[in-house]
């Protein structure tokens, strides 16, 4: 199973095997920087996210979050566990709304955490607020490729 990861340094899109990435930190084929992928979840920038959702051949699930947001931090382990379960079917990304306010403006994020599912560059759906893993898995099942 592969996932696509945008390099945070040169913004090249890398195809990364998830099983290998679990033991070895993947590096960018373009600039050799470490790719921002942790436990099957990647950190994206505003421009990186735009590129990822345009390019991805799978649905992209994005968690818009911030460091100061308690519910976001509480939801993080659920997001990671779900990425482990469904990696290869969805691309899991997190966007820090404090670091990249232009992305939260572009996607009209009014509260966090907000989860958005993108497919072929368009938003399919969004959910505001955290949810338990079983509910999150059920929710995502509707948007499977």
- Residues carrying an active site annotation: 69, 72
Distant-in-sequence, close-in-space partners of 12: CB < 8 Å, separation ≥ 6: 6, 28, 29, 30, 31
CA distance 37 to 27: 9
Q: How far is the CB of 104 from Zn ion (least distance, A)?
A: 25
Helix residue ranges, H only, 44-132: 46-55, 70-86, 101-106
DSSP 24: S
Contact flag: residue 51 with Zn ion (CB under 5 A):
no
Site string for Zn ion, 25-44 (x = CB under 5 A): ---x-xx-x-----------
Contact flag: residue 84 with Zn ion (CB under 5 A):
no
Specify the residue, 30 or 71, whose C-beta has the smaller distance to Zn ion: 30
Specify the residue, 10 or 74, whose C-beta has the smaller distance to Zn ion: 10
Q: Of 4, 6, 7, 93, which lies in the binding site for Zn ion, with binding defined by CB under 5 A?
A: 7
Question: Residues interacting with Zn ion, by CB under 5 A?
Answer: 7, 9-10, 12, 28, 30-31, 33
């Amino acid at each position: 199973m592969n996932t696509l990861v945008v390099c945070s340094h040169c913004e090249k899109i890398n195809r990364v095997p998830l099983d290998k990435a679990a033991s070895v930190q993947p590096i960018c084929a373009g600039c050799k920087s470490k790719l921002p992928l942790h436990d099957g979840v990647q950190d994206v920038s505003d421009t990186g996210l735009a590129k990822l959702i345009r390019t991805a051949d799978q649905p992209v699930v994005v968690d818009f979050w911030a460091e100061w947001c308690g519910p976001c931090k509480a939801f993080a382990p659920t997001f990671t566990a779900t990425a482990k379960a469904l990696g290869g079917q969805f691309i899991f990304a997190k966007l820090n709304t404090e670091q990249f306010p232009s992305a939260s403006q572009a996607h009209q994020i009014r509260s966090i955490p907000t989860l958005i599912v993108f497919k072929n560059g368009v938003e399919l759906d969004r959910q505001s607020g955290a949810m338990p893993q079983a509910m999150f898995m059920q929710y995502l099942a509707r948007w499977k490729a």
